Amino acid sequence: MPSIMSLLLHPERRRPGPPPLRVDLRRVLLAGIAAWAVVLVVTVVLLALGRATPEVVVTCAVGVLLGGLGLLWERRNRRAYRGED
């Protein structure tokens, strides 16, 4: 087994990395948006009860918004990352 220093100095001696996993990015993004939406509802209720700050609510809203932007990106680039080019 080669030493760590040998592998750092000669990266061509390393084993090749495994191929990337194929995932449905749309499902991942939708799960993230759903999680942010649930937390957004909870934080709005907590804000109404005086237990949360507006910054927490804004953070959750931005999470939902960024997830939506991610969905738009996914739609435009679907063929590129699925290997359908």
CB 74 within 8 A of CB 25: yes
Closest by alpha carbon to 29, among 67, 62, 63, 64? 67
CA 42, CA 49: separation in Å to the nearest integer? Answer: 11
Per-residue model confidence (pLDDT) at position 85: 47
Contact, 7 vs 13, CB < 8 A? yes
Express each pLDDT in 49-69 by its tens digit. Answer: 999 999 999 999 999 999 999
Alpha carbon distance 54, 48 (integer Å):
10
| Structural contact between residues 15 and 50, judged by C-beta atoms closer than 8 angstroms | no
Per-residue confidence band for 83, with pLDDT thresholds at 50, 70 and 90? low
| pLDDT of 41 over the 90 cut | yes
Q: What is the pLDDT of residues 7-34, one digit of tens each?
A: 888 888 888 889 988 889 999 999 999 9
Model confidence, pTM: 0.74
